[in-house]
């Protein structure tokens, strides 16, 4: 075993021991720990900003794009947001100990299904240092030990945040090793972590396609991915176009760089001539790429290629295709979509129902913008990510999704 592997496995083993202790900590104490973590960050605000400045300087020298540098930056306002977010999480209901179902066996034994922590969660992410605190706090609130592995470009920031969170948490009752940051920059550390069967219970990667692919390829413990969103809006034959226009504009333009933003618009052929020119007027600063029918109606649209239907632009670019029917729209979404968030605009109930049933996405919208796929909007209070997987958690993942369950059976001597 390499030294690095020994080191990572020993961190994971320590986290597992911490997870056993975390299972026994009550709601009030968990919330006190979270508030202590917030205080620690408040106290060490200057140190965190100084550490972040080191990362920013290195990032500039390394030629990071301004978008990446922006993601990396921890301003005073962002630290205030981090603190507020931790304090808010402390006020949320405890996801552990919920009675999920309860039945009585014919022999009198009660069978309760109760939410419990998952155990040890490894979070692997890229540049945003605020994930360090967000992920730590949500995992701990759900009673899980957490192992963080951030991007190397944010190494100083992540370390400063970790130090600040831990500075007061131990005194508030956080078990040792319940929050670990893997600092070794060697990429092989990630491989060892995601193969630590029996020590790590869940891996949540957040980042670009190459990070997600590498982890999926290497992982031997369960992974819940936060992958891409190739989201669609379908403007149906029976659409209220006055409703469709703001929905498409909002889904595309309100925040184009996020996963629930619109990427491909599908328009029913019978409404295309009426709808597309009006849309072209509305989306003046959006680059349009369309099929032949779209180009005929919107001369400024560039020709769309096969790649465009697959694209998650995360930018002010919109692919447009004219379709013959709701069937063709659904087939397009089945073929090119990422099962994230897809919407129909239609006033026809049968068409709505067909779309809702057949489109197999985490969130299916009828007459609303795809931009609502978000833990906060869904009423979860907080979000650790949006699962594009199908097992355990689908769509926004809040605190409840960071728990599993066990059965507790109470008898009076029952035998089979």
Residues forming contacts to a copy of itself in the complex (CB under 8 A) are 20, 23-24, 103, 105, 109, 111, 116, 118-119, 197, 201-202, 216-217, 220, 222, 224, 240, 243, 246-247, 249-251, 254, 334, 356-358, 360-369, 371-373, 377-379, 389-392, 394-395, 404-416
Whether residue 130 contacts residue 80, with contact meaning beta carbons closer than 8 Å, is answered with: no
Q: Among residues 47 and 372, whose Cβ is nearest to a copy of itself?
A: 372
Tell me how far, at minimum, the Cβ of 65 lies from a copy of itself, in Å. Answer: 27
Residue 267 has a CB neighbour count (10 Å cut-off) of 30
Q: Among residues 239 and 319, whose Cβ is nearest to a copy of itself?
A: 239
What are all long-range contacts of 374-378, with beta carbons under 8 Å and residues at least 24 apart? 374/260
Q: Among residues 39 and 250, whose Cβ is nearest to a copy of itself?
A: 250
Q: Among residues 48 and 245, whose Cβ is nearest to a copy of itself?
A: 245
Tell me how far, at minimum, the Cβ of 371 lies from a copy of itself, in Å. Answer: 4
Whether residue 225 contacts residue 202, with contact meaning beta carbons closer than 8 Å, is answered with: no
Tell me how far, at minimum, the Cβ of 373 lies from a copy of itself, in Å. Answer: 8
Tell me how far, at minimum, the Cβ of 303 lies from a copy of itself, in Å. Answer: 28
Token output for 370:
């795809």
How far apart are the two ends of the chain, measured CA to CA in Å? 47
Q: Among residues 147 and 160, whose Cβ is nearest to a copy of itself?
A: 147
What are all long-range contacts of 290-293, with beta carbons under 8 Å and residues at least 24 apart? 290/319, 290/320, 290/321, 290/322, 291/320, 291/321, 291/322, 293/269, 293/322
Tell me how far, at minimum, the Cβ of 254 lies from a copy of itself, in Å. Answer: 6
Token output for 96:
């552990």
Tell me how far, at minimum, the Cβ of 344 lies from a copy of itself, in Å. Answer: 10
| Best CA proximity match to 205, nearest among 218, 196, 331 | 218
Tell me how far, at minimum, the Cβ of 164 lies from a copy of itself, in Å. Answer: 31
Q: Among residues 186 and 374, whose Cβ is nearest to a copy of itself?
A: 374
Q: Among residues 182 and 239, whose Cβ is nearest to a copy of itself?
A: 239
Q: Is the dihedral of CA 107, 112, 113, 119 positive or negative?
A: negative
H or E element that contains 146: strand 145-149
Tell me how far, at minimum, the Cβ of 402 lies from a copy of itself, in Å. Answer: 11
The residues near 348 (Cβ < 8 Å, ≥ 6 apart) are: 236, 237, 238
Tell me how far, at minimum, the Cβ of 184 lies from a copy of itself, in Å. Answer: 25
Q: Among residues 284 and 416, whose Cβ is nearest to a copy of itself?
A: 416
Tell me how far, at minimum, the Cβ of 398 lies from a copy of itself, in Å. Answer: 12
The residues near 232 (Cβ < 8 Å, ≥ 6 apart) are: 262, 263, 264, 265, 266, 329, 332, 333, 337, 342, 343, 370
| Best CA proximity match to 189, nearest among 200, 198, 177, 178 | 200
Report helix angle 45-61 to 155-172, nearest 10: 160
Whether residue 194 contacts residue 225, with contact meaning beta carbons closer than 8 Å, is answered with: no
Q: Is the dihedral of CA 180, 181, 186, 188 positive or negative?
A: positive
Q: Among residues 63 and 413, whose Cβ is nearest to a copy of itself?
A: 413
Q: Among residues 25 and 83, whose Cβ is nearest to a copy of itself?
A: 25
Tell me how far, at minimum, the Cβ of 354 lies from a copy of itself, in Å. Answer: 8
Query: Counting beta carbons within 10 angstroms of the beta carbon of residue 222, is it exposed (0 to 12), middle (13 to 18) or buried (19 or more)?
Result: middle
Give the separation between CA 157 and CA 79, rounded to whole angstroms: 11
Q: Among residues 87 and 389, whose Cβ is nearest to a copy of itself?
A: 389
Relative to beta strand 395-397, strand 385-387 is antiparallel
């Amino acid at each position: 075993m390499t030294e690095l592997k020994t080191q990572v496995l020993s961190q994971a083993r320590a986290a597992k021991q911490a997870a056993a202790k975390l299972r026994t900590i009550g709601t009030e104490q968990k919330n006190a720990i979270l508030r202590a973590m917030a205080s620690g960050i408040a106290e060490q605000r200057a140190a965190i900003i100084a550490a972040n400045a080191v990362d920013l300087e290195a990032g500039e020298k390394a030629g990071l794009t301004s978008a990446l540098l922006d993601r990396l930056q921890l301003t005073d306002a962002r630290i205030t947001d981090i603190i507020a977010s931790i304090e808010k999480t402390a006020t949320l209901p405890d996801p552990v100990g919920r009675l999920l179902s309860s039945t009585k066996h014919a022999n009198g034994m009660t069978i309760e299904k109760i939410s419990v922590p998952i155990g040890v969660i490894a979070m692997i992410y890229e540049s945003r240092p605020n994930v360090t605190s967000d992920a730590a706090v949500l995992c701990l609130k759900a009673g899980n030990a957490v192992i963080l592995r951030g991007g190397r470009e944010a190494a100083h920031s992540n370390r400063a945040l970790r130090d600040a969170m831990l500075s007061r948490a131990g005194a508030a009752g956080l078990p040792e090793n319940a929050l670990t940051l893997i600092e070794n920059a060697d990429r092989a550390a990630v491989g060892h972590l995601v193969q630590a069967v029996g020590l790590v219970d869940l891996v949540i990667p957040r980042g670009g396609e190459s990070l997600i692919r590498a982890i999926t390829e290497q992982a031997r413990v369960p992974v819940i991915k936060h992958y891409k969103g190739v989201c669609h809006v379908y403007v149906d034959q029976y659409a209220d176009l006055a409703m469709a226009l703001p929905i498409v504009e909002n889904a595309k333009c309100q925040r184009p760089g996020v996963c629930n933003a619109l990427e491909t618009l599908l328009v029913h052929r019978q409404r295309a001539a009426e709808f597309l020119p009006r849309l072209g007027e509305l989306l003046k600063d959006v680059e349009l790429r369309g099929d032949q029918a779209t180009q005929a109606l919107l001369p400024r649209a560039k020709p769309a290629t096969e790649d465009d239907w697959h694209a998650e632009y995360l930018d002010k670019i919109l692919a447009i295709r004219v379709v013959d029917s709701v069937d063709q729209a659904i087939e397009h979404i089945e073929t090119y979509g990422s099962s994230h968030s897809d919407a129909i605009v239609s006033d026809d109930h049968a068409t709505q129902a067909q779309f809702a049933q057949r489109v197999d996405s985490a969130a299916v919208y009828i007459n609303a913008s795809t931009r609502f796929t978000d833990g906060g909007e869904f009423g979860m209070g907080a979000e650790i990510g949006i699962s594009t997987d199908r097992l355990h958690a689908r769509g926004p993942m809040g605190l409840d999704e960071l728990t599993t369950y066990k059965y507790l059976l109470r008898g009076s001597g029952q035998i089979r």
